[in-house]
Structure 1
Amino acid sequence: MKAVVSFSNRLALGLTLLFFAGCATSPEKTEQNFNRARSGPTQQAAPSQARTATPYLRPLTSIGAYRASSITGDYAGYPALQRFIDVMVQKHGFERDYLNGLFSQAKRKQWTLDYLAKSDQSLGGKPGKGSWSRYRAKFLDARHINAGVDFWQRHQATLQRASQQYGVPDEYILGIMAVETTFGSFVGNHRIIDALTTLAFDYQRRGDYFRGELENFLVMSRGEGLDPAKPVGSFAGAMGLGQFMPSSFLEWAVDFNGDGKRDLWNPEDSIGSVANYFAKHGWKPGQPVVSPIRGNPSVATLEPGLDKQYPLSTLQQAGLMPTTDCQCNEPLRLLWLRHADQDQYLLGYPNFYVITRYNQSTHYAMAVHELAQAIKSAYRQQVASNP
């Protein structure tokens, strides 16, 4: 998920393709999931490969009546898939006939491949004028804010428990789910098995990553007692209200409602899992996220971006000072936001960087931050008006 470039044309294309099939189509998800698929979807640990699946301690029982002596359908005759099945049999103890039957059901998503081929051509571009204004407008609206207030009211006790347990403010948990799926309104309608199989064996640039995610998805499904042909999500294989990839599910999803399973389509488990993700990635309770700057960054020699870190002393030497004193010693990041009428610079604290571990985009993290603040303000007003 690299820095956002100009996406107006790609957004129109994404709408035409109905990014989420059927009624689960969200305009703002086009740009977001494009970022995720081209550079490795949500919450990847390393840019080149997904994490190795962690074995479950539950009985290794695969769900679903899938049996075949060989693969038929869209993925018949794929040597790479046969090698993948060899690994799943040897490493995780899956039955070969079961996987042959399952992958005989998988559908090749040609439109996904066409979309990514066209989108990949824009990799490496810088943000265009007004790019932040356009991105921000998709999320900072009454629909997202009101949905956040309603969700907070319905799940107040769970949010409070997650915040106390993990040290992550309620509003930032909500900010993630607002940007990702508008609290479950747009979780996607693509079968995960189709999405991951397509990207694992037909998307050459990121095939290694998606084969790792497909491995994790099969291990996850067996461990949670799911039929792997049933779960649906984004075109890139992200799942649930928080849009976790399978590797992230295995490592950070939690059973927060205590029913014995991890279900990211369940609001309580999603709340706990997002909070746990933030905590495990270094969220610092009570610390700021961003700060305005005193000085003129446009004439400074410091380069903005998530991959650049500057000690406070370096910023001071460049004539830049944060307006918020967090009493922290960690390096800061210089953020560049391009409005329609002006450029804006901010300083990103370590908590800002934690948000970008969810999606490596300054725009994404700023949308989460601003939505979190807007939802919190609206929620407080609602509580004050209805004591």
Structure 2
Amino acid sequence: MSSFGHAPKSHRGPRNGAQRASAVKRMTVRWLAGPVAAASLVLSAGQALADPGFDRFVNGFWPTAKAAGISSSTYKHVFRNMEPDPDTLKFMDRQSEFVKPVWDYLDSAVSESRITRGKEMMKQYSRELAVIEERYGVDREAVLAIWGMETNYGSFMGKHNVIRALATLVYAAPRRTDFWRSELIKALGIVQAGHVRFEDMEGSWAGAMGHTQFMPSSWQAYAADYDGDGRRDIWTSVPDALASTARYLKEHGWQTGKTWGYEVRLPQGFNFNLADEKTTLSLRDWDHQGVKRVNGRSFPRPEDDAILVMPAGAKGPAFLMLRNFFVIKRYNNATAYALGVGHLADRINGGSELAGDWAREYLPLNRDETAELQHELNQRGYHVGTADGIIGPATRAAIRAYQKSRGIIPDGYASVVLLARIKMDG
């Protein structure tokens, strides 16, 4: 689906000099060298150079495209005078050491301007949204929120030609080549079928397309023709794009009229072993555990199942996530994204801000810091296996064990505060 990360970055600055120094250090971006062939394609000013290797790729890819039903006329039209996309070459091997905290992500994703704009779009497309909601059973606020998150309601859908970007990835990307080849074939088929002009097929540097940023394979499986004109045009038709998003959510199990989750407060002495992001209890059972909504109201459907999620550990807000939250994650498998969509949908519909304080000093660890934490845990007998910088069940269990041994709330959350604490233990 989307390439994730095109929401505007927060302008909230660090609160003091130490935090500022830490933030500057952690926002350092590491650029890895791409393939030799790819590196030769880009000038310092970002201009693409003519590359014989890319021409050979275009000629060599034709039999594959032909076998998939792409006509010679479509292929020649699309690839005439094409050069590799320099931005795609630049970004495909970009690896950032900075991990954006969930609170910074939400500051921008659910900004006042985005909420206001969402309410305006709700009015402007009220008739279409009513039809879409009736047709697919997906609540209009959720559809609008995804549109807002993905492209800020169509204000920025990406400046790259999708076929050019995908061709560049097939040609030069060192990984996932089969995936990019399949997406490129599907993109060529979309143009050939007349759903969009090649020149209008804009999207991200990685091939996510249109108002709600479908990859070509997702377009093929889920795109909808709202107006019945025979085209599934997610680039220039807002109704088609919104209907496509609703269809995607419906096909992945959206529950009509139900929320994505509830912000909750945990009781004193809560059993944090239940906060493993996989334990499923009914809302009635969570209530019996002392977990209550922050607004004091009862759960409207106590038989609904939910999972407790604490995106920033015990110091931040806690949420009981329902089925629809995990359907949103099928669109983009990131907790911050799904939380942003759900909260934005609520705010568009007149809901209030989150009640909990994020405790922003508990910054998440980047991969190098996570590997360092894993090494420290291993050294102290809390075995996590290889210190690979990836937080999985073994690392969370080791963190909980260490926290319990030190009288810390055992939430399993890896933060800079935890890393500093364990290093101080010697």
Q: Distance in 1 between matches of 2:176 and 2:308?
A: 29
- Structure 1 unaligned blocks of 5 or more: 13-30, 32-70, 379-387
Structure 2 CA distance for partners of 1:186 and 1:74, relative to 1, 3 Å? farther
1:32-51 equivalences under 5 Å are none
What is the TM-score of this pair, normalised by structure 1? 0.68
Work out whether 1:300 is the aligned partner of 2:272. yes
Displaced runs of 4 or more, over 4 A: 71-74, 296-299, 302-305, 315-323, 327-330
Work out whether 1:99 is the aligned partner of 2:71. no
Q: Which residue of 2 aligns with 1:326?
A: 301
AA partner of residue 273 (structure 2): T
Q: Which residue of 1 aligns with 2:380?
A: none
1:19-30 equivalences under 5 Å are none
Q: Which residue of 2 aligns with 1:26?
A: none
Q: Which residue of 1 aligns with 2:170?
A: 200
AA partner of residue 239 (structure 2): E
Please list the CA deviations of residues 287-338 of structure 1 after superposition, one character each: whole Å capped at 9, or x if unmatched. 2311234536986224645xx353449x8699574643535465x3332222
Structure number with higher relative contact order (C-alpha < 8 Å, ≥ 6 residues apart): 1
**Highest Rg: 1 or 2?**
2
Structure 2 CA distance for partners of 1:222 and 1:106, relative to 1, 3 Å? same
AA partner of residue 254 (structure 2): W
Q: Which residue of 2 aligns with 1:338?
A: 312
Q: Which moved more, 1:238-247 or 1:284-293?
A: 284-293
Q: Distance in 2 between matches of 1:240 and 1:142?
A: 24
Please list the CA deviations of residues 169-205 of structure 1 after superposition, one character each: whole Å capped at 9, or x if unmatched. 1111110111111111111111112211112221222
Work out whether 1:137 is the aligned partner of 2:111. no
Residues 74 and 107, structure 1, Cα contact 8 Å, conserved in 2:
no
Q: Which residue of 1 aligns with 2:248?
A: 277
Q: Which residue of 2 aligns with 1:366?
A: 339
1:166-315 equivalences under 5 Å are 166-224=136-194, 226-264=196-234, 265-293=236-264, 295=266, 300-302=272-274, 304-305=276-277, 308=278, 310-312=280-282
Q: Distance in 2 between matches of 1:320 and 1:204?
A: 50
AA partner of residue 130 (structure 2): Q
Q: Which residue of 2 aligns with 1:381?
A: none
Work out whether 1:75 is the aligned partner of 2:54. yes
Please list the CA deviations of residues 11-45 of structure 1 after superposition, one character each: whole Å capped at 9, or x if unmatched. 69xxxxxxxxxxxxxxxxxx9xxxxxxxxxxxxxx
Structure 2 CA distance for partners of 1:194 and 1:168, relative to 1, 3 Å? same
Structure 2 CA distance for partners of 1:107 and 1:347, relative to 1, 3 Å? farther
Q: Which residue of 2 aligns with 1:117?
A: 93
Q: Distance in 2 between matches of 1:180 and 1:345?
A: 25
Residues 74 and 104, structure 1, Cα contact 8 Å, conserved in 2:
no
Structure 2 CA distance for partners of 1:138 and 1:101, relative to 1, 3 Å? same
Q: Which residue of 1 aligns with 2:63?
A: 86
Residues 336 and 343, structure 1, Cα contact 8 Å, conserved in 2:
yes
AA partner of residue 359 (structure 1): N
Q: Distance in 2 between matches of 1:145 and 1:223?
A: 36
Q: Distance in 1 between matches of 2:164 and 2:238?
A: 25
Residues 73 and 104, structure 1, Cα contact 8 Å, conserved in 2:
no
Q: Alignment RMSD, CA only?
A: 3.7
Residues 224 and 262, structure 1, Cα contact 8 Å, conserved in 2:
no
Structure 2 CA distance for partners of 1:151 and 1:185, relative to 1, 3 Å? same
Secondary structure of 1:153's match? helix
Secondary structure of 1:292's match? strand
Residues 75 and 104, structure 1, Cα contact 8 Å, conserved in 2:
no
Q: Distance in 1 between matches of 2:89 and 2:308?
A: 35
Structure 2 CA distance for partners of 1:102 and 1:161, relative to 1, 3 Å? closer
Q: Distance in 2 between matches of 1:320 and 1:104?
A: 65
Task: Give the deviation of 1:367 after TM superposition.
Answer: 0.9
Q: Which moved more, 1:142-151 or 1:284-293?
A: 284-293
Secondary structure of 2:157's match? coil
Structure 2 residue corresponding to 1:146, chosen from 91, 110, 116: 116
Percent of aligned pairs sharing the same letter:
27
Q: Which residue of 2 aligns with 1:108?
A: 84
Secondary structure of 1:186's match? coil
What is the TM-score of this pair, normalised by structure 2? 0.62
Task: Give the deviation of 1:93 after TM superposition.
Answer: 4.8
Task: Give the deviation of 1:271 after TM superposition.
Answer: 1.8
Q: Distance in 1 between matches of 2:140 and 2:304?
A: 25
Task: Give the deviation of 1:157 after TM superposition.
Answer: 0.6
AA partner of residue 336 (structure 1): M
Secondary structure of 1:291's match? strand
AA partner of residue 136 (structure 1): L
Q: Distance in 2 between matches of 1:272 and 1:225?
A: 15
Residues 108 and 194, structure 1, Cα contact 8 Å, conserved in 2:
yes
Q: Distance in 1 between matches of 2:127 and 2:333?
A: 30
Residues 254 and 327, structure 2, Cα contact 8 Å, conserved in 1:
yes
